[in-house]
Amino acid sequence: MANPSLLILAGDGIGPEVMAEVKKIIDWMRARRGVTFDVTEDLVGGCAYDKHGVPLHDDTMAKAQEVDAVLLGAVGGPKYDSLDFSVKPERGLLRLRKEMDLFSNLRPAQCFDALADFSSLKKEVVAGLDIVIVRELTSGVYFGEPRGIFVEGNERVGINTQRYTESEIARVARSAFELARKRGNKVCSMEKANVMESGILWRDVVQEIHDKEYPDVQLSHMYADAGAMQLTRWPKQFDVIVTDNLFGDLLSDLAAMLTGSLGMLPSASLGAPMANGRPKALYEPVHGSAPDIAGTGKANPIACILSFAMALRYSFDMGEDAARVEAAVEKVLADGLRTADLMGPEGGTPVSTTQMGDAIVAALDAGL
């Protein structure tokens, strides 16, 4: 049987630094678990533009289509702000999502007990939080046509179009319902059906898919703005939230901060099944490239490591090893180890990016 294949695109800013810690886990898997990954590395984002003049080379795109999973670090930085929109670093990531047809973006928001005090909300509100936002990723207002900046009369007009088909809504709804069956069996669908026709269609299709295929799953509907309010009032009322591209972008960042730090949160972008039955997939931390701390050793590698854990679970059917990685992360946090973003009034043991990675590997060893 062929080794599982993984394309690593470390990207820009702190991307290479946090990815270096993931490579330690990959090496540990080979040495201690007898699992060897066929790893290929390439460029995406600003570093790809520097070398090729585009944020994602065609050859890299072809590799992404062939491997079992793609693991991405982060893209972007201020040095690329003046580039034309068509070649900005973020366009490389959007191309990966679009051409791999990664329509279902899973963003967990889990609050580890050791970090409950880091949230801006009261400890009792967030302690034990474990929710997942399922965001539609390849359609909606970010991709709809017409779009652009046009001149009408004597002024400019910016246009973006919110557009969804029934099939696009149905497939991400199924993704959410399937995930809920493995968790708390509860889905809340969020849209703006009170003011948007696309929201009316979204609600109708989600309800139809539920009634025909997933009547065993508890389904509720909520306007997205009310959902944002409820996420900050009592987030533990939710299990799986499914929503469109724009609202998913906003709500997942809101949910991220409930846990105390963007440096803690992974994500998975899943597409249709490949020949082996597993979905096409791209995994990445929710945080950005953080160019202000690049090279300082302050970056938190946990989100990237947990993204690899998601790859183990969803792309490689290695749920037991994914749980090992997650348990190792929980242990080092319980032991008080803290990267700069996690240092709070109660203190802790400050560690660098590499020290945090080493500690997680040590915890993996201790857990065997």
Report, as residue numbers or ranges, the catalytic residues.
142, 192, 225, 249, 253
Are 72 and 44 a contacting pair, CB within 8 Å?
A: yes
- Cα-based distances in Å from 52 to 48, 78, 318: 6, 19, 36
Q: Which residues are paired to 41 by β-bridges?
A: 8
Helices (H), the chain: 15-33, 46-52, 58-66, 89-99, 123-126, 166-181, 197-213, 224-233, 245-258, 302-314, 319-334, 353-367
Cα 91–Cα 263–Cα 324 angle in degrees, nearest 5:
110
Instruction: Output 23-28 pairs: Cβ under 8 A, ≥24 positions apart.
Output: 24/357, 24/358, 24/360, 24/361, 25/305, 25/308, 25/325, 25/357, 25/360, 25/361, 25/364, 26/308, 28/361, 28/364, 28/365
The type of residue at 114 is A
Nearest alpha-carbon partner for 70 in 99, 91, 47: 99
